[in-house]
Amino acid sequence: MKAPTATIGRRAEADHHRAPRKDDEREAPRFVVFVVEFARWAPDPAPRGRREVQTRRMADMRAFREAVTGWAAGGPGAAARDLAESSGVRVAVLVEGLSDLAAVEALATRRGRDLAAGGVCVVPMGGAMSIGGYAALLGPPGLGLRLTGLCDEAEQGFYERGLRRAGAPLRDIHVCRADLEDELLRALGIPGVEEIFRAEGDFRSWQTFLRQPAQHDRSPHQQARRFLGTRKGRKIRYGRLLAEALAPDRTPGPLDDLLASL
């Protein structure tokens, strides 16, 4: 932005140097008028334009995800096909639920990764047993996207069978020991998780939960896993919050490997 410039009124300056008149004594005092001109400052439109493009891409990916969900439920597939082409979708990350979606997207954002710009869409399937149908629709038999995924150790067999039937490689499956919440809790530790509960206003509820008789024989880790599932939406919200709190060197291996592969 240019510095302000000041201009002295020419008439006032001229009056100061002219010869005196007899009636000068009766004239009202004259004032020097300063005219200040500020250069109009305009913000750089580039960041705003990039944000708009990113927002549009994210909206396109949400629309694609919704279209795929409807298609997998028996609806028409035309919308998903059109959106895959117009949005440049090239990779589908198949995860079990919405909390997994929240965690993957949160960690990608924290690392400065724009998944939508890379044509990557994270698709929650509503359970590992749906892998066969989603793989058939999105993999080689359907849209021909590259398939990768994140699953629980107990559900690995479902993923392997579903991807094998779709002709997709098995090397892109990233397996959590119990589930993704378990991986996040172990990476952060209970003291770190409790700090997040405190920041989110859930610490009192957590303390009340711990006093329940059913929790007395469980480890702190098991208690925290159970607490995340006690209220609708809490598991999804904390999937994002726990992923955002991860230190770079504490990211669970399956999640770290998944993002590295994209």
Is there a single domain that holds both residue 68 and residue 163? yes
The domain in which residue 111 lies consists of 46-262
Question: pLDDT at residue 5 above 80?
Answer: no
Higher pLDDT, 260 or 9: 260
R_g of the chain, CA atoms, integer Å: 31
Is there a single domain that holds both residue 103 and residue 182? yes
Backbone φ and ψ for 148, nearest 5 degrees, come out as: -140, 170
Quote the pTM value: 0.79
Question: pLDDT at residue 32 above 70?
Answer: no
Is there a single domain that holds both residue 156 and residue 259? yes
Q: What is the largest CA-CA distance in the chain?
A: 109
Is there a single domain that holds both residue 67 and residue 193? yes
Is there a single domain that holds both residue 224 and residue 250? yes
Cβ-contact 153, 176 below 8 angstroms: yes
Question: pLDDT at residue 92 above 80?
Answer: yes
Is there a single domain that holds both residue 116 and residue 161? yes
Residue 9, classed as helix, strand or coil, is coil
Is there a single domain that holds both residue 177 and residue 258? yes
Count: domains in the chain: 2
Average pLDDT in the 152-175 region? Answer: 94
Average pLDDT in the 104-124 region? Answer: 95
Q: What does the alpha-carbon distance between residue 74 and residue 80 come to, in Å, rounded to a whole number?
A: 13
Is there a single domain that holds both residue 23 and residue 91? no
pLDDT digits (tens, 9 = 90+) for 36-69: 444 444 555 566 777 788 888 889 999 999 999 9
β-pairing verdict for 173-176 and 146-152: parallel
Cβ-contact 88, 116 below 8 angstroms: no
Residue 230, classed as helix, strand or coil, is coil
Is there a single domain that holds both residue 27 and residue 98? no
Q: ∠ CA(139), CA(95), CA(179), 5° rounding?
A: 145
Is there a single domain that holds both residue 30 and residue 72? no
Question: pLDDT at residue 167 above 90?
Answer: yes
Q: What does the alpha-carbon distance between residue 172 and residue 150 come to, in Å, rounded to a whole number?
A: 9
Is there a single domain that holds both residue 24 and residue 147? no
Q: Which ranges of 88-130 would DSSP assign to H, the alpha helix?
A: 98-110
Is there a single domain that holds both residue 192 and residue 101? yes
